Amino acid sequence: MSGVESFIEFLHIPSLVLTDEMHIRSVNEAFCSQFQLARNDCLGQRFNDLENGLWDSPELHHLLEERLEDENAVHDCEIRQAIDQTGERILLISACRVGDGRHTLIMAQDITQQRQYEELLRERESRYRSLFETIDEGFCVFEVLFEGEKPIDYRFLETNPGFDKLTGLHGAVGKCIRELRPQHEEHWFQIYGQVAVTGKPLRFTQQAKHLGGRWYDVYAFRIGPAEQRQVAVLFDDITEKKKAQEILRESEERFRAVAELVPDLLWRSDPDGKSTWYNQRWMEYTGQTRVQAAGYGWIDVIHPDDRSRSLDNYERAVRTGQPLQQEHRIRRHDGVYRWFLVRAEPVRDVEGKILHWFGAATDVHEQRAAVESLEWRVEKRTRQVRRLAYRLTMAEHKERQRITRVLHDNLQQLLYGVEMRLRMVSQSLLATQDKMSGLLDETNRWVREAILTTRNLTTDLCPPALEKDELGDALRWLKRQMKELHGLEIDIDKQSCLSIQDNELRILLFHSVRELLFNVVKHAGVNRATVRLEEDEKYSIIHVIDDGCGFNAAEVTGGEEDVSGFGLFSIRERLRLIGGYVEIHSTPGYGTHIQIRAPRDRAVQGTR
Amino acid sequence: MIRIFVVDDHPIIRKALRSLLENESDIHICGEAATAQEALESLPQANPDLVLVDISLPELGGIELVRILRIRNPGLPAAILSGHRDGFVKQALDAGANGYILKGNSDDLPEAIRQIVKGKQYLSPEISV
């Protein structure tokens, strides 16, 4: 037996020799090392009682006691033993009878780790296989065939379903591409031959005319030993994408051709607003280079006064995705600024995501100048009209004053004198000439009537109360006059006052209120109105209110036609000239409330 | 005899007033002036019982003249003669006028003068304050 015992000492395989009583007779170093047992602890021990409990399993009993009895030797039997602390262990056992059949040589290897690796590999392979089978991309492995150093064909070793689908080739494994597609282009062999020889992976896009003219995006890499010249290829059919690119390219070419024809300045920006392209016209007009204009370079050629506003608008449009429209001045290469109408629109994909912005700047310099000129002329004319209206008020009043003076200073005084003289004559004749006296009395009455008429006329033309600063007094005089002449009752607070030192403004406000009260008489259908005076920090305010039939305020304030009958247009324009305004609140059937607001610190536009 | 001083820039009015009032047995025109300035100069010599002042005098107006008279001759009554029915009445009374007589109805004038001289205030019936 010493021969066997010596022999196992040389073995790297964990081995031991058992007696016929299943006691350990000898054990080698490899066994002690692998199963972490001390040799002295093992020798003489019953095999099944070894400390680690690994060897006390029914399977091992069966193997050593029954199978070995029958077969004399057993090879590579896998025994699985569950160990509490370490989980399942897998032992690979070979055993045979030695020493006249009285001893048993056991070679035992713990292959637990090996089996675990194998299991892992199987799982991994299964996963890769599953991936390989299910991916949309095509995958194949082939062996490149050479004639000398020239690659002439390749034979498929493996393909996935994606391969069949993307190439239209079925059952390709074991066949050469020349068998399947004899006209297959030469460049494919060149490329794959290069990968097979150099081992350098290649990614490329190529068309296969004899595979339906399809375009492929290909990644080829060598697998296995170099001498096997096997290449794996992962590829995708990009024919549709290629067509779309082609269409896009053609479209882009057409666009650029058109873009260079139009007189507008055009550009394109990325979704963040940075300009990525300008047409040639932009370059020619501004004198910028593409590098200068790129990104936000366009800002440099915007007029300094427009720059901040334009940039704010542009950034807001980019941020919100809303189209942009604005006007700003763009500097020409010679330094002259011209006005442009700028429009920018986002271009979106089918999901609404902004792909880029497209913008166009149209030269509107002449139109703008024309509009500005027209607006200026209209504004100037409006100012003239307002000044004229204002002057008209003053002229009217001065004319009233002149007529008043003539009536008062001349005609009235004459009449007073005549009246007194007639009275005196009448008294002188009373005793003697009754008839003459009667005639003179009648003449005297006529003269008095003439006096009354001229007096009323002078007062009406130029109310004396208007000479005083206090507008309230003049309006209270107006109250009496409106009552006497037109039967209109006016409610105006006795204490109500509005001191206006500016003579012309006082006249304007007085005549405006009178005009509004005439409107009440003529249009409102009521015999009562309210006049209220007040002030705030900025304005002297006069309210004229009635509960009459009202009118559509929007029609009167919206247009300037056919409102002269109301006198509102005239009032509004005259007030506007001095920085005041009229507020009209009226609805048919619900009365009218008009506010006249005149600035306390008035600033008459234009010359007075 | 009531002594009247007339201040009016219209000669016709002055003449007519003189003719009219001198027809009254108890009234006498003791002086006249065309302007306030003239009046202020002549009044001390004229020594009237009443000054009739036209409201519309050139330069210094009738109401202003009354105001000055109230200071210089507090006891001398003054009445405003006016063609304006309203607008100036309160002003005239505030300035110290004893009467506001409307031109154009001379029937009432002598009686108005008599009342004012008696110390009463007179306002023509047609006027309003």
| Per-residue pLDDT tens over the stretch A123-146 | 988 888 888 888 889 999 999 999
**How far is residue A244 from each of residues A240, A247, A250, A251, A297, measured CA to CA in Å?**
6, 5, 10, 10, 32
In a domain, B100, yes or no: yes
Fill in the amino acid letter for A584: I
What is the chain B residue with the closest CA to A477? B87
Q: What is the ipTM of this complex?
A: 0.79
A459 close to B (CB below 8 A): yes
List the single best residue of B9, B10, B82 to mutate versus A (max A Cβ within 10 A): B10
Query: What's the CATH number where B91 sits?
Result: 3.40.50.2300
In a domain, B65, yes or no: yes
In a domain, B105, yes or no: yes
Paired with A543 in beta bridges are A532, A595
B16, B88, B104 ranked by CB distance to A452: nearest: B104
| Per-residue pLDDT tens over the stretch B47-61 | 999 999 999 898 899
Task: Report how far residue A375's alpha carbon sits from residue A369's, in angstroms, rounded to the nearest whole number.
Answer: 10
Q: How confident is the model at residue B114 (pLDDT cuts 50, 70, 90)?
A: very high
CB pairs under 8 A between A and B: 70
Task: Report how far residue A204's alpha carbon sits from residue A202's, in angstroms, rounded to the nearest whole number.
Answer: 6
Q: Is A22 left (phi over 0), alpha (psi -120 to 50) or beta?
A: left
Task: Report how far residue A480's alpha carbon sits from residue A488's, in angstroms, rounded to the nearest whole number.
Answer: 9
| Per-residue pLDDT tens over the stretch A469-480 | 788 888 888 898
**How far is residue A297 from each of residues A158, A275, A283, A307, A344, measured CA to CA in Å?**
56, 8, 12, 12, 16
Beta strand ranges found along A378-432 (DSSP E) = none
pLDDT score recorded for residue A431: 59
Average pLDDT over residues A403-408: 80
Task: Report how far residue B7's alpha carbon sits from residue B13's, in angstroms, rounded to the nearest whole number.
Answer: 10
- Residue B26 has phi, psi (to 5 degrees) of -100, 10
Mean pLDDT of chain A: 86
Task: Mark yes or no for CB contact A455/B128 under 8 Å.
Answer: no
Ranges of H-type helices in A135-219 = 161-167, 177-180, 186-198
- Percent pLDDT > 70 in chain A is 94
Average pLDDT over residues B11-25: 87
Q: Which long-range contacts (CB under 8 A, 24 or more apart) does A153-156 make?
A: A153/A177, A153/A178, A153/A189, A154/A189, A154/A192, A154/A231
Task: Mark yes or no for CB contact B86/A459 under 8 Å.
Answer: yes
Chain B nearest C-alpha distance from A575 (Å): 26
Q: Would you say A356 and A268 are in contact if contact means Cβ atoms under 8 Å apart?
A: yes
Q: Is the pLDDT of residue A53 over 80?
A: no
Residues from chain B that touch A424, judged by Cβ atoms under 8 A, are 19-20, 23
Chain A nearest C-alpha distance from B41 (Å): 24
pLDDT score recorded for residue A268: 92
Task: Mark yes or no for CB contact B10/A448 under 8 Å.
Answer: no
List the single best residue of B103, B109, B113 to mutate versus A (max A Cβ within 10 A): B103
In a domain, B129, yes or no: no
Q: How confident is the model at residue A325 (pLDDT cuts 50, 70, 90)?
A: very high
Task: Report how far residue A70's alpha carbon sits from residue A326's, in angstroms, rounded to the nearest whole number.
Answer: 103
Q: Which long-range contacts (CB under 8 A, 24 or more apart) does A337-341 make?
A: A337/A303, A338/A363, A338/A365, A339/A363, A339/A364, A339/A365, A339/A368, A339/A369, A340/A265, A340/A364, A340/A365
pLDDT score recorded for residue A58: 85
A417, A452, A464 ranked by CB distance to B87: nearest: A464
Task: Report how far residue A401's alpha carbon sits from residue A230's, in angstroms, rounded to the nearest whole number.
Answer: 119
**How far is residue A184 from each of residues A16, A188, A209, A242, B46, measured CA to CA in Å?**
65, 8, 8, 20, 145
Roughly what angle, to the nearest 10 degrees, separates helices B36-46 and B62-72? 40
| Per-residue pLDDT tens over the stretch A234-249 | 999 999 998 888 888 8
- Residue A373 has phi, psi (to 5 degrees) of -65, -45
Q: Is A129 left (phi over 0), alpha (psi -120 to 50) or beta?
A: alpha
For residue B69 the two structure tokens come to 């008279």
Chain B nearest C-alpha distance from A521 (Å): 23
Q: How confident is the model at residue A604 (pLDDT cuts 50, 70, 90)?
A: very low
Residues from chain A that touch B106, judged by Cβ atoms under 8 A, are 416, 419-420, 423
Which residue did the predictor score with more confidence, A275 or A438? A275
Q: Would you say B56 and B44 are in contact if contact means Cβ atoms under 8 Å apart?
A: no
Q: Is the pLDDT of residue A186 over 80?
A: yes
**How far is residue A212 from each of residues A168, A268, A270, measured CA to CA in Å?**
8, 37, 37
Q: Is the pLDDT of residue B87 over 80?
A: no
Average pLDDT over residues A398-408: 81
Q: Is the pLDDT of residue A493 over 90?
A: no
Which of the 8 DSSP states describes residue A565? G
Hey, which residues 354-413 in chain A have their CB within 8 Å of chain B?
408-409, 412-413
What is the chain A residue with the closest CA to B110? A420
Number of H helices, E strands in chain A: 20, 20
A452 close to B (CB below 8 A): yes
Task: Mark yes or no for CB contact A420/B17 under 8 Å.
Answer: yes
Query: With a threshold of 0.95, does the pTM exceed it?
Result: no
In a domain, B128, yes or no: no
pLDDT score recorded for residue A485: 82
Task: Report how far residue A520's alpha carbon sits from residue A532's, in angstroms, rounded to the nearest whole number.
Answer: 15
Average pLDDT over residues A583-608: 76
* Residue B64 neighbours by CB under 8 Å, 6+ apart: B36, B95
* Residue B56 neighbours by CB under 8 Å, 6+ apart: A408, A409, B9, B62, B82, B83
Residues from chain B that touch A480, judged by Cβ atoms under 8 A, are 86, 128
Q: Is the pLDDT of residue A433 over 80?
A: no
Q: Would you say A93 and A74 are in contact if contact means Cβ atoms under 8 Å apart?
A: yes
Question: Which structural domain range is residue B61 located in?
Answer: 2-123
In a domain, B6, yes or no: yes
| Per-residue pLDDT tens over the stretch A192-232 | 999 999 999 999 999 999 998 999 999 999 998 999 999 99
Angle at A428 between CA A424 and CA A434, to 5 degrees: 115
Answer positive or negative: Cα dihedral of A446, A450, A455, A461.
positive
Task: Mark yes or no for CB contact B107/A413 under 8 Å.
Answer: no
A543 close to B (CB below 8 A): no
Task: Mark yes or no for CB contact B105/A464 under 8 Å.
Answer: no
Q: Would you say A54 and A89 are in contact if contact means Cβ atoms under 8 Å apart?
A: yes
Task: Report how far residue A94's alpha carbon sits from residue A191's, in angstroms, rounded to the nearest whole number.
Answer: 52
Task: Report how far residue A452's alpha carbon sits from residue B83's, in angstroms, rounded to the nearest whole number.
Answer: 9
In a domain, B39, yes or no: yes
A211 close to B (CB below 8 A): no
Residues from chain A that touch B86, judged by Cβ atoms under 8 A, are 459, 464-465, 477, 480
| Residue showing tokens 């979704």 | A271
For residue A333 the two structure tokens come to 């290469």
Q: Is A333 left (phi over 0), alpha (psi -120 to 50) or beta?
A: alpha
Chain B residues within 8 Å of chain A (Cβ atoms): 10, 12-13, 15-17, 19-20, 23, 56, 83-88, 103-107, 128
Number of H helices, E strands in chain B: 5, 6
For residue A502 the two structure tokens come to 């500016």
Q: Would you say A5 and A25 are in contact if contact means Cβ atoms under 8 Å apart?
A: yes
pLDDT score recorded for residue B128: 58
Chain A nearest C-alpha distance from B83 (Å): 7
Chain A nearest C-alpha distance from B118 (Å): 24
Return the closest-CA partner of residue B54 out of B12, B111, B114, B110.
Answer: B12
pLDDT score recorded for residue A605: 40
pLDDT score recorded for residue A156: 96
In a domain, B63, yes or no: yes
Q: Of all residues in chain B, what percent are helix, strand and coil, respectively (each to 5)? A: 40, 20, 40
Least confident segment among A423-437, A520-534, A540-554, B103-117: A423-437
Return the closest-CA partner of residue A344 out of A331, A356, A329.
Answer: A356
Q: Is the pLDDT of residue A599 over 80?
A: yes
For residue A321 the two structure tokens come to 């995705």
| Per-residue pLDDT tens over the stretch A280-300 | 999 999 999 999 999 999 999
Angle at A179 between CA A178 and CA A185, to 5 degrees: 25
Residues from chain B that touch A427, judged by Cβ atoms under 8 A, are 23
B19, B56, B85 ranked by CB distance to A424: nearest: B19
What is the chain A residue with the closest CA to B57? A409
pLDDT score recorded for residue A252: 82
pLDDT score recorded for residue A561: 42
pLDDT score recorded for residue A603: 46
Q: Which long-range contacts (CB under 8 A, 24 or more apart) does A22-30 make?
A: A22/A46, A22/A47, A22/A48, A22/A64, A22/A104, A23/A47, A24/A50, A25/A1, A25/A103
Task: Report how far residue A286's alpha carbon sits from residue A291's, in angstroms, rounded to the nearest whole number.
Answer: 13
What is the chain B residue with the closest CA to A441? B107
Task: Report how far residue A476's alpha carbon sits from residue A491's, in angstroms, rounded to the nearest whole number.
Answer: 9
List the single best residue of B6, B8, B9, B13 to mutate versus A (max A Cβ within 10 A): B13
Return the closest-CA partner of residue A408 out of A416, A397, A418.
Answer: A416
Q: How many domains does chain B have?
A: 1
Residues from chain B that touch A470, judged by Cβ atoms under 8 A, are none
pLDDT score recorded for residue A432: 65
Task: Report how far residue A151's alpha carbon sits from residue B117's, in angstroms, rounded to the nearest whole number.
Answer: 149
Task: Mark yes or no for CB contact A420/B85 under 8 Å.
Answer: no
pLDDT score recorded for residue A565: 43
Paired with B102 in beta bridges are B82
Q: How confident is the model at residue A392 (pLDDT cuts 50, 70, 90)?
A: confident
What is the chain A residue with the closest CA to B83? A455
| Residue showing tokens 């040639």 | A280
